[in-house]
Structure 1
Amino acid sequence: MFFSIDADGDIPIYEQLVRQVKLAVADGILVGGQMVPSVRQLANDLAINSNTIARAYQELQSDHVLEPLRGRGMVVRRDAMKRCTKARNSLVAESVRRALADALAGGMTTAELRDLFEAELDRQSAMIENAKPVSGNGTS
């Protein structure tokens, strides 16, 4: 699994890890029953203190996203997707609230915001649609 860590950002590293694992589960990148890297391995791969990784895993366990598999490590819980999808939606909603508050405080009108939102939504939807593989008819 690939993590993108911003050591100089406002969000603590353990929280970045928690968010990224939840997003990966919500997006189906990590699935129920799948092993996650060990604390030692991930700490080594990311050059981060193992206590930081352990704290993230502990929070993910408390949030019922990961569970220990005796003698083997940590796995994604089979029922984690719904919980993680809800967490992702909450993160997106908070980001939208912040962006709207900043835009309105900066003087944008609601009409400008609607136009911007709809244009960006159309652009993003088109990008996703264009990225989908085209299914063939089985002949070459």
Structure 2
Amino acid sequence: MFFSIDAASDVPIYEQIVRQVKLAVADGTLVGGQMLPSVRQLSRDIALNPNTIARAYRELQTQEILKPLRGRGMVVRRDAIEACTSARDDLVGEGVRRALADAIAGGMSPDQLRELFETELARLSRSAAEANSSSTDHEIVASSSNNESSHE
């Protein structure tokens, strides 16, 4: 799994981590029983304050996506896929509604929106197919667009 953190986003960093873990579970990148990096390890990997990572992990635990294994760290719950799939659908639906509202307010017609949607869907589907064919590894890799520590 690849964490992409946008320090300039309106979405708090801990919430970005929560969302990305849920999306990874929904798409099968993370599976039930799989361990996540420790708070310290992930903090080092993506150059964030450990408290931010711990907050994200606590939120995921509260939402019953992760569970602690005493002395070992956090693991994805085997029953988390349904909740993560639902969260993904809600998140995507919210984004689509917002984009459609902006487009309609900007004067786009339904036909223009359909054409744009079909074009972008085809482009993204091709990109995803190419990425999947070249990637056979589901190892957790962390990255950050901001190398400074965050204190959330």
Distance apart, 1:50 and its partner CA: 0.8
In the alignment, the residues of structure 2 paired with residue 28 and residue 85 of structure 1 have an alpha-carbon distance, to the nearest angstrom, of 10
Aligned residue pairs, count = 133
Gaps of 5+ in 2: 134-152
Is 1:45 the counterpart of 2:45? The answer is yes
Gaps of 5+ in 1: 134-140
1:19 is aligned to 19
Code of the residue aligned with 1:73 in structure 2: it is: G
Spell out the pairing of 1:30-109 with structure 2 (5 A cutoff).
Answer: 30-109=30-109
In the alignment, the residues of structure 2 paired with residue 131 and residue 18 of structure 1 have an alpha-carbon distance, to the nearest angstrom, of 23
Code of the residue aligned with 1:15 in structure 2: it is: E
Spell out the pairing of 1:120-139 with structure 2 (5 A cutoff).
Answer: 120-129=120-129, 133=133
CA change 1:8–1:110 in 2 (3 A) is same
CA change 1:89–1:44 in 2 (3 A) is same
1:138 is aligned to none
Distance apart, 1:82 and its partner CA: 1.3
- 1:27-86 per-residue CA deviation (whole Å, 9 max, x = no partner) reads 111110010011111111111111110110010001110000111111000011111111
Instruction: Give the ranges of 4+ consecutive aligned residues of structure 1 lying more than 6 Å apart after TM superposition.
Output: none
In the alignment, the residues of structure 1 paired with residue 76 and residue 46 of structure 2 have an alpha-carbon distance, to the nearest angstrom, of 20
